[in-house]
Amino acid sequence: MLRSSARMLPFVLTLALVGACQSGPALKNISSVDALKARFNADAGKPRIVLLLSPT
Amino acid sequence: MQKEILDAHRDSDLRVYAVWFNMVEGDARDRWSPELLTDRRVVHFWDEGKTVGAFFARRTQSEEMEQALAPNSSGLGQAVLWDSYLVFGPESRWDNGPTGIRRWGRTILRTRNDLGEAVKGLLTAPGVGK
């Protein structure tokens, strides 16, 4: 039983890694413009687009 | 947006900030779909208080914003700007507010051609976009 589990370990780890890599984008909560401002300025030197959207 | 802008300029260093908030009945944070914009250059924010939309709505009367408005825009003058895009060049810097707006429009669908042209012009300018 223990040997069988050990043999499965690389397979399980691979699945976990693939799952982590394939996870979708995150949705970060903000309560003011400051977080957007910080990100905007951190990306200075690049063209930038702000989208204002509702989810439906 | 995903296909016409991001996929069309796959190798550019364009950055997109998608700010989501409730505006119409049925909107909710859990109605947000992560499949709509999956490009790694997009950062998604949930703004429950509509602070970003209100912030940009207050700025729409500025001369800089008026000059950058897409001609076919509609539904302006609301307390919260939404269903809208704002395009900024690499020189833009945000102190009291972001400077150097190149183009903005509302609604996104109605003015999508202006958005595409603005991004294309920006990314094909010498020394920009890579």
Rounded-to-integer distance, Cα A37 and Cα A34, Å: 5
pTM for the whole structure: 0.85
B:84-103 residues touching chain A, CB 8 A cutoff: 84-90, 92-94, 98
Q: Which of residues 14-53 of B touch A (CB under 8 A)?
A: 14-24, 26-29, 31-35, 37-38, 42-49, 51-53
Nearest residue of B to residue A37, measured between CA atoms = B94
Looking at per-residue pLDDT, the higher value among B60 and B129 belongs to B60
Give tens-digit pLDDT for A4-19.
556 655 655 554 544 4
Which of A28, A39, A50 is the mutation pick for testing B, counting most B CBs within 10 A?
A50
Q: Please report which confidence band the pLDDT of residue B125 belongs to, taking 50, 70 and 90 as the band edges.
A: confident
Chain A residues touching B31 at Cβ < 8 A: 55-56
In a domain, A45, yes or no: yes
On whether residue A18 sits in a domain, the answer given is no
Tens digit of each residue's pLDDT (9 = 90 or more) over B39-92:
999 999 999 999 999 999 999 989 999 999 999 999 999 999 999 999 999 999
The whole-number pLDDT of residue B38 equals: 93
A16-47 pLDDT, tens digit per residue, is 544 444 578 999 999 999 999 999 999 999 99
d(CA A37, CA A14): 38
Closest alpha carbon to B98 in A2, A13, A37: A37
Number of domains in chain A: 1
Q: Who contacts B6 (Cβ-Cβ below 8 Å, separation ≥6)?
A: B14, B16, B37, B39, B41, B42
Q: In the beta sheet, which residues pair with residue B16?
A: A49, B42
Is it the case that residue A3 has pLDDT exceeding 70? no
> What phi and psi, each to the nearest 5 degrees, are found at residue B81?
-85, 130
Q: Pick from B42, B3, B4: which is nearest to B20 by CA?
A: B42
Peptide bond into B99 cis (omega under 30): no
In this complex, is the C-beta atom of A42 within 8 Å of any C-beta atom belonging to chain B?
no
The complex scores an ipTM of 0.94
